[in-house]
Each structure stands twice: as C-alpha cells, then as structure tokens.
Amino acid sequence: MRATVPEEAIAALPHEVLIVHGRDDRVIPLSNSLRLLELIDRAQLHVFARCGHWVQIEQGPRFIELVERFLTEDAPDSARITTG
C-alpha cells in the first residue's frame, strides 16, 4: 500500500473508523483496505460484492444503511470484516 500519510499516523488514529471497499474495484486494490484494517485498531471493513470503485453510487441504499448503522452503534471492541 502506498499512502500519502505515514502508516504510523494512520495506526495512531484513536477513533472508530469505517472502511468501505468494492470487491471489484479496479482503481484501488482491496489489499489497501485490508492494510488499513491491520493498521487501525478500532476499524471495521465492509467489502461490497458486485461493486467497483464507487460504492456510494453503485450500492447507494446499502451504503447509506451501513454508514447510518456505524454512526449510531455502540463502539465494537475489535476490528471486524463484513461482506455483502
């Protein structure tokens, strides 16, 4: 993963982070999001099936539901991955 922000700064993020990725994204490899999940202690990753780079457009209603749930839920204790 080549980031414009040093990995140490990413790993130091103190808050909950939601990472979303389209499984079929041809612009940014899924490995980048998996690396973010490794670096950020309080991160969640959701990988959308049958979806490319524009998750918020290609999977609009499901994306909105996921973000709303993330913003209103209690903080999870550990990192997790969901797919759908």
Q: How many CB atoms lie within 10 A of CB 15?
A: 8
The residues annotated as belonging to the active site are 53
Strand blocks (E) in 1-84: 17-22, 43-48, 80-83
Q: Which structural domains are found in the chain, ordered by start?
A: 7-83 (3.40.50.1820)
Task: Identify the residue whose tokens are 């490319």.
Answer: 52
Q: What is the pLDDT of residue 80?
A: 61
CA–CA distance from 80 to each of 5, 8, 36, 39 (Å)? 23, 21, 12, 13
pLDDT in tens, the chain (84 residues): 566 899 999 999 999 999 999 999 999 999 999 999 999 999 999 999 999 999 999 999 999 999 999 998 865 555 566 666
Q: What is the pLDDT of residue 50?
A: 95
Q: What is the pLDDT of residue 43?
A: 96
Distance CA 47, CA 55 (A): 9
